[in-house]
Structure 1
Amino acid sequence: MLERLRRTEFDEEERSRRRFVRRQWARRWLQLRVVVIVVVLLVAAVVGGWLVYFSSALSVKGVDVEGTSLLSEQRVVDAADVPAEPLARADVAAIRERVESLPEVKSADVSREWPDRILVKVEERVAVAVVERGGTWRGIDSTGFSFRSYRSLPTNLPLIKIDDDTEDEAVTEGANVVASLPPAIARKVEHVELRTIDQISLVLRDGRRILWGSAERSDDKSAVIAQLIKRKARIYDVSVPNQPTTR
């Protein structure tokens, strides 16, 4: 009986020892597995970083251009001057600055297109009027910026008459006025006369004249002239938009 009791106690101790050993191995395996996972992740991060930032596998292979009309895509690509380096290292801000240095470009947006291309979206300037400089017809945008040439005077854009003494500020004011006009009226403007920045006049193709004054409150003046032009007159004065007159 005593022998049987001792054997039972021994078996119980052996089972306890085995359970302890299994728990220890389970704990060690868990720790080892964590270490293995961390090592694998580190290796993957290193390899991934090398592939992305240093390997030629993800180098820039080309440039896609959107939004061009005046410009050829090749001019934009040439201006972008994107080096054949890993896409992740491409300096998109510097690329944008180079593209925006083109006179025809108002703004540009540059982004990465994985795995190996650069996308350049261009917003071109829009001519609202023409000026003559040095015997050349130059298109200007709403800010007065001169960005393109014409072989002859366009028939769909008004001419802003300037001379050697005309200040750039006056040209800018004239461009602002034209840009604020309703399209139906803008198409009828033959030329803009700039005596001073406060004495701007619009001459329509049928000879009628609009006295605009300065470029201040141009939106209000545009709304007034859109209605006033319906009256039969030779001169429309909207220099004071709250008190327009005709004669």
Structure 2
Amino acid sequence: MTDLLHRHDPTEARAEDRFARIRRARRWRALRRVLLALVVLGTAGALVWLVFFSSVLAVKGIRVDGVSVLTTRQVAAAAKVPTGVPLATVDLDAIEARVEDLAPVLDADVSRSWPDKVLVRVIERTAVLVVDKEGTWKGVDSEGVVFRDFRRQPPGLPVVEMQADTSSAALAEAASVVNALPADILRRTTSLDVRSIDSIVLHLRNGARVSWGSADQSGDKARVLAVLLRQKGSTYDVTAPGRPTIRP
């Protein structure tokens, strides 16, 4: 009888074995999660150190795209990109602001070019007219910004004839007028006489003059002038596009 009481039930033994395996599996899963967390934290710490503190990903130079008026050296000099510091810590906005201070730059975009470069993409201004300042041809863009020199008068760009007291605002008005001219009228235009923001005159290749006034309603004025030029005249007046005149 005693032997029977102490005899192990095979079913009970299997259950205990199963429970033991479950406990071991749970402990292993918990340990694995801890180990995984330690690996993740260690990796993250290593990456933070690598990116923000080590010299492995330090800045070694600058790449410049999009320049033709400027040179890469001029952009790099203005950008003042710090070398030897972690690339991730470089102040891109400050670099962008310094590059955009260059007169020929209309817009700049600065980004990180891993592993060790700062990339500066530049959009330069485009000249729509030129002015002669003391024998030097200066290019002016559509916003009226004087931004570059030409060695000689560039073909295809009208010349602005300025007075000594012509303001920068008047020059900007002239640029707006040129920007509004259709291509065929622009080809006929040799120069613009700019005395003030309200007194702009176009000189055409055939010797005719066009009294334009200000840059206001330039689109309407350009359309009216295109019709008027079908008739011969020495002076065309579109200062009031609703009441244009022609003088023979």
> TM over 0.5, yes or no?
yes
CA RMSD of aligned residues (A): 2.1
Match of 1:30 in 2: 29
Match of 1:185 in 2: 185
Q: How does 1:18-97 map to 2 (within 5 A)?
A: 18-84=17-83, 85-97=85-97
SS in 2 for 1:187: helix
Runs of 5+ unmatched residues, structure 2: none
Match of 2:121 in 1: 121
SS in 1 for 2:223: helix
Match of 1:224 in 2: 224
Among all aligned residue pairs of Structure 1 and Structure 2, give the percentage whose two residues are the same amino acid.
Answer: 47
SS in 2 for 1:56: coil
The answer as to 2:202 corresponding to 1:202 is yes
Aligned partner of 1:158: which letter? P
Number of residue equivalences:
246
Aligned partner of 1:46: which letter? G
Aligned partner of 1:30: which letter? R
Aligned-pair distance for 1:38?
0.4
Separation of aligned partners in 2, 1:229 and 1:3:
127
Separation of aligned partners in 2, 1:55 and 1:187:
59
Most deviating of 42-51 and 75-84: 75-84
Aligned-pair distance for 1:241?
2.3
Aligned partner of 2:39: which letter? V
Q: Deviations over 1:31-75 (max 9, x none)?
A: 110000000000000101111112222122332221111111221
Match of 1:236 in 2: 236
What TM-score, normalized to structure 2?
0.89
SS in 1 for 2:112: strand
Check whether the contact 2:163–2:195 (CA below 8 A) recurs between aligned residues: no
- C-alpha change, 1:43 and 1:4, in structure 2 (3 Å) is same
Aligned partner of 2:36: which letter? I
Aligned partner of 1:178: which letter? V
Aligned partner of 1:50: which letter? W
SS in 1 for 2:231: coil
Separation of aligned partners in 2, 1:161 and 1:16:
103
Aligned partner of 1:181: which letter? L
